[in-house]
Amino acid sequence: MNTVFDVIVIGGGQSGLATGYYLRRGRLSYLILDDREKRGGAWQSAWDSLTLFSPAQHSSLPGWLMPKSEGPFPTRREVIDYLGRYEERYGFPVERPVRVNNMERENDLFRLITTKGDFYTRAVIAATGTWANPVIPDVDGREKFKGIQLHSANYKNPEVFQDQKVLVVGEGNSGAQIMAEVSKYGREVKWATRNTPEFLPDDVDGHYLFNIASAKYRAEKEGKPFDLSNYNLGNIVMVPSVKEARSRGVLTSEGSFTGMYEGGVIWENGTKEAFDAVIWCTGFGYATSFLDTVVRPDEKGIISTDETRATEVPGLWLVGYGSWTGYASATLIGVNRTARQTVKQIGEYLAQVE
């Protein structure tokens, strides 16, 4: 007879560890399943120069502050180190690498069908984030392009684009940051965006944005109006690399393109332009396909929830996927509240179904 856990957390990144912190304080038996070989979650796969948008003191998981970083914002390597030490510090029961391929609900239990056999649990916390579900828009002719196509999820560093003509696509933070560094190596690098890039003021960082999200959340809970026009907001945080690129005058959008051909892209005015490589910085869906047999996610991977609690499936919670599972929940500091609330709800749920 297989062990039946009270809770299994799927995903051993920042959201899984935050929920683990609150689970270890209770009396529930739990296990964290992680599909990665090493500690550090999706940060293991991120590009080399990626940093957080907030200082270390505003980027911590519950219980233990992130050590001060060498620069203004913690680097990818510093975040990976922090997550690994955090996991070790609290001794979470993590099993890796284990990929959950599917799950079923059997007699008030969940059966998780994984690469290391079946696991049984009374409740499930999905904490798989977005990195495993990169999105590339369905551009006419994209399959005909003979050059390199790379999503930001698979981008590592700019050196491989030395002396190439490169098109970076996407007006968000990843587009701006990758444009900033590839522009130093490519023979010619252009930026394609559907909308005009909107840059935040130089003194605004992720902590400022988190405070705005918190104020908006409190206002909504109290039934009060919240006027975002009182805040100077944009899409792109001015991290040091983006500021440096601005000083070189390279952060200028060429606009959008309507299609692709063997050699490059077709701009909105109908002209063709050849490129050696296209880097898609076009975002992510949610990595929730393993839930397909118990609930049907939409095309983005979203399911119906009341904050983190799934509304259609008893015993299922989703943590850390962004605004639809709690304000700022995709951030290191923001996942704290939703993780704590989720574990409290699970305790109440399991007490009721005993």
Q: Residues 143-157: pLDDT tens digits?
A: 999 999 999 999 999
Outline which parts of the chain fall under CATH 3.50.50.60: 4-133+284-353, 142-199+234-280
pLDDT at residue 203, as a whole number: 72
Taking a C-beta distance cutoff of 8 angstroms, is the pair 136, 142 a contact?
A: yes
Going by C-beta distance under 8 Å and a sequence separation of 6 or more, which residues neighbour residue 33? Answer: 8, 9, 10, 11, 12, 94, 95, 96, 98, 100, 112, 114, 119
pLDDT at residue 209, as a whole number: 58
Residues 78-105 as b/e (b if ≥16 CB within 10 A, e otherwise) read bbbbbbbebbeebebebeeebbbeebeb
| 3 state SS of 115 | strand
- Which of 3.50.50.60, 3.10.20.30, 3.40.50.2000, 3.20.10.10 would CATH assign to domain 142-199+234-280? 3.50.50.60
DSSP 130: S
pLDDT at residue 222, as a whole number: 63
pLDDT at residue 107, as a whole number: 85
- Which of 3.90.1300.10, 3.50.50.60, 3.40.640.10, 1.10.10.60 would CATH assign to domain 4-133+284-353? 3.50.50.60
pLDDT at residue 328, as a whole number: 80
Taking a C-beta distance cutoff of 8 angstroms, is the pair 115, 4 a contact?
A: no
Question: What is the distance between the alpha carbons of residues 259 and 243, in angstroms, rounded to a whole number?
Answer: 31
Tokens representing 273 are: 């332009």
pLDDT at residue 177, as a whole number: 96
pLDDT at residue 27, as a whole number: 86
pLDDT at residue 264, as a whole number: 98
pLDDT at residue 210, as a whole number: 57
Residue numbers of the chain with a pLDDT score lower than 70:
1, 204-222, 224-234
Question: What is the distance between the alpha carbons of residues 92 and 151, in angstroms, rounded to a whole number?
Answer: 32
